A and B are shown apart, each in its own frame.
Chain A
Amino acid sequence: MSNITKEFPGVKALDNVCLYAEEGRVLGLIGINGAGKSTLMNVLGGVYKPDGGTIELDGKEMIFHSPSDAYNAGIAFIHQEPQYFLSLTVAENIFISDLYMKNKVFTDKKKMMEEAEKYLSIIASNIRPDQLLENVAIGQRQVIEIVRALTAGANVIIFDEPTSSLGRQEKENLFKTINKLKAEGKIIIYISHYLDEIMEICDDYIVLRDGKLVNQGLISETDKSGLSNMIIGQKLEHLKKKSIDTRDRETVLTVEDIHYGNLLHGVGFELKKGEVLGIWGLMGSGRTEMIRAMLGLDRVPGGKAYINENGNKLPIKKNELLRKVGYITEGRHFDGLFLSKPVWKNVTSANLDAYTSKIFHMLNIKKEYEDTKKYIDLLQIKVPNAGVKMATLSGGNQQKAVFAKWICKGADIFILDEPTRGVDVGAKLGIHKIIRELASQGKSVILITSEADEMVDLADRVLILRGGKIISEQTGADINQKNLMMIALQGVSAS
């Protein structure tokens, strides 16, 4: 790709970017949120038409008018925000662009199931091919898109943050697969904010900032801190963890006896004042479902919640609890944002009461707008102004906006499900600081994350989910990577 330029109203997303990827090598594409990574790949994947520049594949100049053009040219694109066919089976989702046929007329469902099984087992074995996709947990769905790209036999494979919702095992499998593809001589472009991954899997790197190519080179000639310097242009200081024993503190929320289909069998916990309570478990262990059931978001029976007010333990209805907490959900597009509304309407949407007048319930629109600007600065959300539509923000910036929405509401209890998914290294540190600050102000935080680092850095206490039950509670120095992994995988602690 040479001299690619792309402008959106108000932003020059790409400015004369040249990218050269070689067969049999993995190219790492890195940069802060809003740097233009996804836009560049969307140009290559036929989603956007560039304002200038050319794309060449095997020496031939290509012009893509639609994603299917690019697809037919052998470019497979695993999107940052994947899209699925919810009411089709997993197997149909995988083979949709190339359905197996029995003869000219009929599809061969059986063969598809078998083949899907085979490919699925390469990455993640606990998804069944005959499952309807809507029954696959949101966090696991990305696997399907990856498998789809693998089966398509494409020559160029673009991964836009593929691991942001993969578990550890799936991640390892994915890397094995990528290495195999590499050996087969495919071109692979890999976008990620996890520098460990970039170091592990990539051969070359390219750094984008503000739509310009600012750096490139061989991975073997740099290291992690070198990469992170290039990305944010300055050194990152690390957040020092201070572990607090919160077990004897006042309880603010008690949850009992939550069931969820075959996933959870009577779990319960207590949340203490001013703590960060981690919920840890493998993919599909029911972490998210536990929260959704607790808040009454899915119609599942059972489960009670009590809230502590002035020393009294009072039962609380699920939907009232929902209104009391700040809840960053797992899927920002599904239930986190209003994509076609401007940023400011998103940020204030959970906190409309604060902007409503007593009489006539009029909204103070000016104040909404001004406050939003504050949060944009606080979280360094990259936008031309607070009035642009949410859908135009880059993935990481959208995630920051979800965070802003809940800070704006200012609840006493925060529930954060993968709060930093897709956020760049610098901004992640910022969010971590805010989370710690919330806790030290006496707010209580429930944290769900698949990243062991994040858990270790932030949590005061960790509950581990396995086989539908909370099997263990870890505190202090016991919250470390090795221990967490061991308990989640095998049910026993490392020590």
Chain B
Amino acid sequence: MTKAMKYREFFLSNGFYLLCIIVIVIFSCLNRSFFTIENFFSILLASAFLCATTAGVTPVIISGNMDLSVGSTALLCAGVMYQSFHLGMPDSVTLLLGILAGAVVGLINGILVAKLKFNSMVLTLGLQIGYRGLGLMLIGGTQVKLPEAFSVFGKKTIPGGLNVMVVICLLVMLVLHVILKRTKFGTYCYAIGCSETASERVGIPIAKVKIAAFIISGVCAALAGFVVISRLGIAHSYIGKKMEFDAIEAAVIGGISLNGGRGNLLPGALLGVFLIYVINNGLSIIGASEYVYPFAQGIIVFVAMYLDALKNFRNK
């Protein structure tokens, strides 16, 4: 009895990790080239931009809001970088302008949510259309080729063969994890997400924290946009499509609560990102029909969430 309960306990608290392992084992059995270093790197590379976006929206989610504009922000920033390149700016300025654009978008979202008390979900859902429109105007076509120089960024690797972009994105995640867990700002994010009334009572600068969270989200989205275009060498109108949903999905299956106040970036959200890309990568390696993708992804997300729900329910 107690032994059975212990197993149950173990299964419940580690269900998500078990799920990840099971998925990996299944794909490894189906195709030998899945479980290789090269493939692991390629999964990392493919998921790098999502690591950045997920890390970025996490402070927003934890402080009880939602940012559905990250995908469009990524496109908008890609547009800004594309234009700046065309105007012949140096690389560093281009990058800086892109990041700045992200920060501005975050600032706008943040002010509207924190000062004017917009509902963040609907606000960003609405503005996202606008940002995408702007981005498309800047790119000015469905697909444009970027200068050679741009994609050089995307091909650099560190010793060992790992792509620089991957390293940067993982670092972003690590840094944000530390910020959330160990700094005043981080603690405030959790506090506001738990209860705004209580936060107001104890004198937390709610508006400032919220705005900062949105700026982080915008900057990370810009970084994601940069990663995408420099890897592809082209800017196209599909950049960032569904990126916001993927990011939130990754965060949630990694255990971050959409009600705010709960969850961790590491290892939760990181594994969430991986899981999504492991599935995509695995399916493409075993040559599954493209119609299978949404089903596989949908089902895995369901299972991950169900495990999480079981765990929370037991804890309550």
Contacts and interface: CB of A to CB of B under 8 A. Distances in A.
A and B touch in the complex (CB under 8 A): yes
Contact of A84 (B198, B313, B314): B198
Nearest to A82: B198
B308 to A, nearest CB: 15
Contacts of A92: 187, 191
Interface stretch (A96-104, A227-235, A281-289, A379-387): A96-104
A286 B32 CA distance: 55
Contact of B202 (A97, A101, A106): A97
A71 B201 contact: yes
Contact of A87 (B182, B262, B314): B262
Contacts of B88: none
A487 to B, nearest CB: 31
B36 interface: no
Interface in B184-230: 184, 187, 190-191, 193-195, 197-204
A299 B313 contact: yes
A86 interface: yes
A298 B197 CA distance: 26
Given A71-B202, A96-B187, A299-B314, A106 B194 contact: no
Interface string B216-255: 0000000000000000000000000000000000000000
B190 A148 contact: no
Interface in B267-316: 313-314, 316
B56 interface: no
B261 interface: yes
A84 B182 contact: no
Nearest to B260: A87
Contacts of B316: 298-299
Nearest to B262: A87
A85 B183 contact: no
Interface residues of A, number: 25
B203 A71 contact: yes
B191 A67 contact: no
A97 B195 contact: no
Given A79-B201, A86-B261, A96-B204, A101 B195 contact: no
A106 B314 contact: no
Contact of A88 (B182, B187, B200, B313): B187
Given A85-B194, A87-B194, A107 B187 contact: yes
B250 to A, nearest CB: 20
Q: How large is the interface on B (under 10, 10 to 19, 20 to 34, 35 or more residues)?
A: 20 to 34
Given A101-B184, A148-B202, A298-B316, A96 B195 contact: no
A109 to B, nearest CB: 8
A121 interface: no
A68 to B, nearest CB: 4
Interface string A81-122: 001111110001000110101000111010000000000000
Interface string A282-315: 0000000000000000110000000000000000
B209 to A, nearest CB: 12
A232 B193 CA distance: 42
> Which of A88, A92, A101 is most buried by chain B, counting CB atoms within 10 A of its CB?
A88
Contacts of B182: 105-107, 109
A67 B201 contact: yes
A83 B198 CA distance: 5
Contacts of A88: 187, 190-191, 194
Interface in B137-171: none
A84 B184 contact: no
Contacts of A66: 200
Interface of A: 66-68, 71-72, 77, 79, 83-88, 92, 96-97, 99, 101, 105-107, 109, 148, 298-299
Nearest 9 interchain pairs by C-beta: A83-B198, A68-B203, A85-B194, A97-B202, A71-B203, A87-B261, A87-B262, A106-B182, A85-B191
21 contacts: A66-B200, A68-B202, A71-B201, A79-B201, A83-B195, A83-B198, A84-B198, A85-B195, A85-B198, A86-B194, A87-B190, A87-B193, A87-B194, A88-B190, A92-B187, A96-B202, A96-B204, A97-B202, A97-B204, A299-B313, A299-B316
